[in-house]
Structure 1
Amino acid sequence: MRPAMTTAHALTQAYPDVSVLDTFPKLLAHNAAAHGGDVWLREKKFGIWNAFTWAEVEARVRHMALGLTELGVGPGDVVALIGDNRPEWLMGEIAAHAVRGMSLGIYRDALAEEVAYLITYAGVRVIFAEDEEQVDKLLQLGEQIPTVRHIVYSDPRGLRKYDDPRLVALSEIEARGAEHAKREPGRYGELVAAGQGTDVSILCTTSGTTSHPKLAMLTGGALVRHCAAYLKADPRGPQDEYVSVLQMPWIMEQIYAFGQALISRMKVNFVEEPETTMADMREIGPTFVLFAPRVWEQIAADVRARIMDASPLKRAMFDYGMKLGLKALDEGRRSPVADFLLFRALRDRLGFSHLTSAATGGAALGPDTFRFFLALGVPMRQLYGQTELLGAYTLHTADDVDFDTVGKPFEGVDLRIDDPDPNGLGEIVTRHGNAFAGYYLNEEETAKSLDAEGWLRTGDAGYFDKRGHLVVIDRVRDLARTAQGDRFSPQYIENKLKFSPYVAEAVVLGDGRESLAAIICIRFPIVSKWAEKNRISFTTYTDLSSRPEVTELIRAEVEQVNRTLAEKQRLSRFVLLYKELDADDGELTRTRKVRRGVINERYGEIIDAMYRGDRKIDVDTTIAFQDGTKQRIRTVLNVTHLTDAPPAGAGKRRAA
């Protein structure tokens, strides 16, 4: 049986004093001393959940930290980590902070050249690599990462054949640290006490939508103070369960799995594999989740796909339940009938039965997807922030959720809108006392982003509504105008398109053109299932996306979206791309944000042909896969013209 929920006031009163415990290692030591026998972490391995108490985690961190000192790591050195979300990542990062080093998280699916850039730029000396896959990636870089002295691996499987002198097992590091602890029993405590809140603890990569990511310097004191402010807006406590799904390098996972967990003592759970996330989450029954918009979109699409395979009776019940649920949502209430018929069982299947709070952040979530989950009974909230300002600093309150906004700022956060137009739309500029300390080794970019008074130019366009909620529209540089001067937000339209279970990605075009158009990528797992059900033969993604039946399927989805848009914002045509947009090709960031400049350059000929009025576009190109192999693609793209959009005319080509 779950413990009774504690009141928000009682939770905030019980939090430790972060003005004194101003680093992650200090908070860990405090919790280990006061609550050592309580479970903090769980990891599923070989089908079994393994628990780690605060005392056990602190003991391992102590040995890792002292082991790092044996390797010569000290104040100001950079320790990198790459791999899946595991307890060892969390422990390794805190250990790096304990010796007053800086941690740098690298996305597990980063390509070798991305890894080389980050390691070399930051001057990484030691890197924690989870397993053979990540070790291979590092060893292949050879002389491209000359600063690396030690590669520490936690999973030894497949690594016996290597003899690189830089390789060392995590178990050996811990053993050396344990011996050090015997020689100097008080040494670790001295290291932790010497740490200061003003020390830079984390080098956090920015999204890098236009170029290589920058490294934001985050101090330990700013991190824990900001997490404490966040917990005032959305309290949590030891009874709460969190499943670590977002990749560890992302700022929001640093906030939740580290900062908030260390302050509130909520339990952090690690799934066995990314593919088992939903099943493992159902076993845990989390009380809080944070997913990126693409994950919420995928969950909604999967639900709709499963309904496609259901019996006629179940499909009818789903449609009826959603109709009742959405109607009740619009009236500010919940539908007991819809909950009984549909939502209660669906929440249980998704692992959402115990949720008291759920959030989305990192990019905008389409209003249709947001409404879907609110109707389902998921207590969704939208948050907004940047890496430079330590993640989120606006959030809906539990009783004031609006899917068109990102809520109100936390206590102590200042927001303003610069250069507003007559409707109040302008650039969002933000300031609070827990901002980043600048970009690592990049004073020029720091000066561009952060002024002398601490105001950060976010680069996002937004405005305040009548209730004081912040509404974020799009990136300032991505707001577009048609040739007639009509403004539109590509991101807003893209999010509406991605609510369709058949659409994985969409890039809306039209800046400086007579009309709007889109490049669309199908959601292959679901469209392929639809094709099989309708006895449509296909071989590959490229083949499937070129089928006229699939084109008509997507046409119906686009036309449905068009009917919800103002006339000047409707799409006049679209094309189904022959491949998925891929972060490995530089078309998306690692957090799945579209790099519009890359799209405009790479697919410029396709875009020009669409606006010339071509009905068919010949493609002869080569695509590269992550394993280094290449494939030539020769196909014909069909441009679908829509009848319920403004008439199109040729326009001057500009950035998408």
Structure 2
Amino acid sequence: MQSTETNTAKGSKTTWDMGTDTTLIHILARNAELLGNRVAMREKHLGIWQETTWSQMLDTTLACAAGMESLGFGAEDALLVLGDNRPRLYMGMLAAGVLGGYAMPVYSTATPDEIRHFMHETHVRFVLAEDQEQVDKVLDLGDQGATIKNIIYDEPRGLTNYSNPGLISWEKLQAIGADRLRAEPKLRNSLIERALPDGPAVFVHSSGTTGKPKGVVLSHRNFLAGVRNAHRGGAFTFGETILAYLPMAWVGDFAITVGAGVALHFTINIPERQETVLHDLREVAPTFYLAAPRSWDNMLTTIQVRMEDSTPLKKWFYDVFMNSALASERRKLEGKQPSLTERLMRQLGEWLIFGPIKDQLGLTRLRGAFTGGEAIGEDTFVFYRALGVKLRQFYGQTESSAFTALQDTEEVRLHTVGKPLPGVEVKIGDNGEVLIRSGSVFSGYYKLENATREALEDGWLHTGDAGYIEPDGHMVVLGRLSEVVYTSKGERYIPNYIENRLKFSPYIKDVAVLGSGRDTLAAIICIDMEPVGHWAEVRGISYMSYADLSQKPEVIELVTAAVKRVNSILPDGLKLHHFVSLHKEFDPDDGEVTRTRKLRRNVVEERYAPIIDAIYGGQQTVTMKAQITYESGEVGTIERQLSVQEI
């Protein structure tokens, strides 16, 4: 496939080849040649946006590669990357790929045990760390016997007095690489040509819902195939403006920020801190934005809170125009046309209400708005569509380089994930499993032959998801196939399906549905502290902590109402009969959910067995001790008496 893009830097037409028989570094070199002075990355630092052009990005990446090679990094070596989104960390990952090594990003909040698992998986000897906090984590592991040759750090603050051997600043690494490039004139082109299309681009991990995360090495060809498929399917186009804030360890971040970012020469904006993402989002006003359902929920909560605090007149205008837009959008989802009055109200509302709200949020230029990872609540989805943000759902896996299916802008349905992308084949197995085949699919799990044989068969990836394809080609994903369970009465259900419906409530953050082999279904529910806390404050309900708030009678009633709403759409045999509001959140540090907040059901059911026994034993209360892991890695416990609520 080819696409023609106007090269404004040179004022001529340039043909951009979107083939997959190339590498990310080769495309980066092309961008530097044709778009040299155009901005590739912008990073917010001390309140000021710092810009990096495509030429600078290439030079920095090559200097990093030359420097790392001088330190002994080579093909099949692994570079552990620790930290939040930073330009140097992205360029360091590209440099590892240049040398045929494995760039292995890890969640910045990863515990020492998780990092140790990744380091032993590939015998990591090189680390690229964002700051002192991440360096300290690695040094602690080194004291425990981990073999680490070099730790390269980005932010020098707090590290100037460290004298640990192998600790080297990014600036020093750059100087080593630049000196070598000057001394070896042929090295620059050699580095650009060294990586192979089927060579490693990044080493990421599966979510690990049923055990330790499995290593997934994705090649340049895999990513470029995924980007090409997504481009053909209308996910994004050349020259998008994006905000790179998603966790670097998640495959979607690399696929969008680096894969599509380089291949389609995006302008990549990086927030100052995770805490400033919403503020930076408004400044950037991206044209493409992907967020998990929970992030869209949080943004909606922000809007609702601000409207609660506004004047009566503004609230009246908001209610009138938003209610009209919501009614219009629901008619569209039902396949009906909005009325003339609704169309007129839509136009006037855009000027008075919707436009200003989108401007405050940084959504005014948004062409591609996406959500994925789990089902999004109907109310949230319809709200953004009514606001004028054409929110769409997408579906993908780590093993398929993130992109599999996508909703079309004007063909969205609440229960589907859209149609398979061009270049992606999908079929449903005899057991109801979703199978896919595409150039974006990986070649196997790292050093796990048995798991690879189970996942790949005759070129088809077994996704592990249960689903079906509607007559017009739309895909419906029900949940994990391994989670299909039965009640003692033979009722078949997927807990995740019910859990997602419960999480449609803005007041519920996490849920574990119980009932396998039991007569009835029940749930352990974790409230969402921020919206529930605001709800309580508005009503004058005082509380001291999450544990205290979660057990307030008024909050229990709030959760009960949410459970009853979900029960109203479930068949009689699958209605929830009891629930317990947990006194703490499910925490990835405690192993209860993954870093992407997917439930580790076996851990939850084992850890909270006393609650499960109390529910099905007919008890009205249960005293529960819960394990918590502090940022230092130390483990503690909290104890609380919880009530078992009957619906």
The two structures share one fold, judged by TM-score above 0.5: yes
**In 1, Cα distance between the equivalents of 2:518 and 2:324?**
41
Shift of 1:312: 4.8
Residue of structure 2 in register with 1:646 after alignment: none
Q: Is the 8 A contact 2:3 2:17 kept in 1?
A: no
Question: Following TM superposition, by how much is the alpha carbon of 1:143 offset from its aligned partner in structure 2, in angstroms?
Answer: 4.7
Aligned pairs for 1:18-37 (under 5 A) are 18-19=18-19, 22-37=22-37
CA distance in 2, matches of 1:400, 1:35: 35
2:417 pairs, out of 400, 406, 410, with 406
From 452, 465, 474, the counterpart of 1:469 = 474
Q: Does 1:17 align with 2:43?
A: no
SS at match of 1:495: helix
Distance change in 2, residues 1:476/1:315 (3 Å): farther
Contact map agreement 2:590 2:627 (CA 8 A) in 1: no
Deviates more, 1:619-628 or 1:222-231: 619-628
Shift of 1:636: 1.3
Listed one character per residue, the Cα deviations across residues 11-41 of structure 1 (whole Å, up to 9, x for unaligned) are 5996632447611111111110111011111
Tell me the equivalent position of 2:406.
395
Q: One-letter code of the match for 1:528?
A: G
Q: Give the aligned CA root-mean-square deviation in angstroms.
A: 2.2
Q: CA deviation at 1:235?
A: 5.7
What residue number does 1:569 align with?
Answer: 574
Secondary structure in 2 matching 1:121: helix
Query: Which of 632, 635, 643 is the matching residue for 2:640?
Result: 635
Matching residue of 2:561: 556
Cα distance in 2, alignment partners of residues 331 and 367 from structure 1 = 14
Tell me whether 367-376 or 156-165 shows the greater mean CA deviation. 367-376
> Shift of residue 623 of structure 1?
2.8
TM norm structure 2: 0.93
Q: Aligned residue pairs: how many? A: 629
1:344 corresponds in structure 2 to 355
- Indicate the residue corresponding to 1:128 in structure 2: 128
- Which of 357, 375, 378 aligns to 2:389? It is 378
CA contact (8 A) 1:418 1:429 kept: yes
The answer as to 2:440 corresponding to 1:434 is yes
The amino acid across from 2:421 in the alignment is: F
Match of 1:584 in 2: 589
- 1:79-90 superposed matches below 5 A: 79-90=79-90
Contact (CA 8 Å) 2:285, 2:364: kept in 1 or not?
A: yes
Runs of 5+ consecutive residues of structure 1 not aligned to the other structure: 1-7, 421-425, 643-656
Q: Which moved more, 1:327-336 or 1:86-95?
A: 327-336
Partner of residue 368 from structure 1, selected from 345, 356, 379: 379
Q: More displaced, 556-565 or 280-289? A: 556-565
Tell me the CA shift for residue 551 of structure 1.
1.2
**Letter of the structure 2 residue corresponding to residue 344 of structure 1:** G
Contact 2:226–2:402 at 8 Å: present in 1 too? no
CA distances 1:489-548 after superposition (whole Å, capped 9, x unpaired): 322322232232222212222222222222111111222223233232221111111111
CA contact (8 A) 1:367 1:404 kept: no
CA distance in 2, matches of 1:630, 1:138: 20
Indicate whether 1:524 and 2:535 are aligned: no
- TM-aligned CA distance change 1:81 to 1:15, over 3 Å: farther
Distance across 1 between alignment mates of 2:175 and 2:430: 59
Q: Hey, what does 1:651 align to over in structure 2? A: none
Residues 240-259 of structure 1 correspond to what in structure 2 (within 5 A)? 240-259=240-259
TM-score, with structure 1 as normaliser: 0.91
**Residue matched to 2:9:** none
Task: Output the CA distance in 2 between the equivalents of 1:206 and 1:293.
Answer: 20
Q: 2:619 aligns with which of 614, 617, 625?
A: 614
Shift of 1:277: 0.5
1:303 aligned residue: 303
How far the C-alpha of 1:230 sits from its partner, in A, is 1.6
Partner SS state of residue 392, structure 1: coil
Aligned residue in 2 for 1:167? 167
Question: Structure 1 CA distance, aligned partners of 2:222 and 2:535?
Answer: 50
Residues 297 and 498 in structure 1, CA contact (< 8 A), matched pair in contact too? no
Q: Which amino acid aligns with 1:190?
A: S
Paired residue type of 2:584: K
Q: Using the alignment, how far apart are the partners of 1:472 and 1:230 within structure 2?
A: 19
More moved, 471-480 vs 171-180: 471-480
Contact kept? 1:99, 1:192, Cα under 8 Å: no
Alignment of 1:589-608 (within 5 A): 589-608=594-613
2:169 partner letter:
A
- Aligned AA (1:409): P
The Cα shift of 1:389 comes to 1.3
**Residue 154 in structure 1 maps to residue 160 in structure 2:** no
What letter matches 1:436 in structure 2?
Answer: F
Paired position in structure 2 for 1:58: 58
Aligned residues of 1:218 and 1:390 also touching (Cα < 8 A): yes
1:303–1:112: structure 2 CA closer, same or farther, 3 Å change rule? same
Structure 2 residues without counterparts, runs of 5 or longer: 7-12, 333-337
Report the alpha carbon displacement of residue 197 of structure 1 after superposing the two structures with TM.
0.6
CA offsets 1:249-301 (integer angstroms, 9 cap, x no match): 21111111111111211111000111110110101110110112222232233
**C-alpha distance in structure 2 between counterparts of 1:229 and 1:300, whole Å:** 31
SS at match of 2:91: helix
Aligned residue in 2 for 1:95 = 95
**Deviation sequence 1:532-584 (CA, Å, 0-9, x none):** 33232221111111111221222223223333444443322211101011111
Deviation string, structure 1 residues 61-108 (Cα, Å, up to 9, x no partner): 121111011101122211121101010111111111112222111111
Tell me which residue corresponds to 1:76: 76
Q: Residue 610 of structure 2 contacts residue 622 of structure 2 at CA under 8 Å; is this kept in 1?
A: no
Check conservation: 1:76, 1:100, Cα contact below 8 A. Answer: yes
The whole-number CA distance in structure 1 between the counterparts of 2:484 and 2:289 is 31
Does the CA contact (< 8 Å) of 1:77 and 1:102 recur in 2? yes
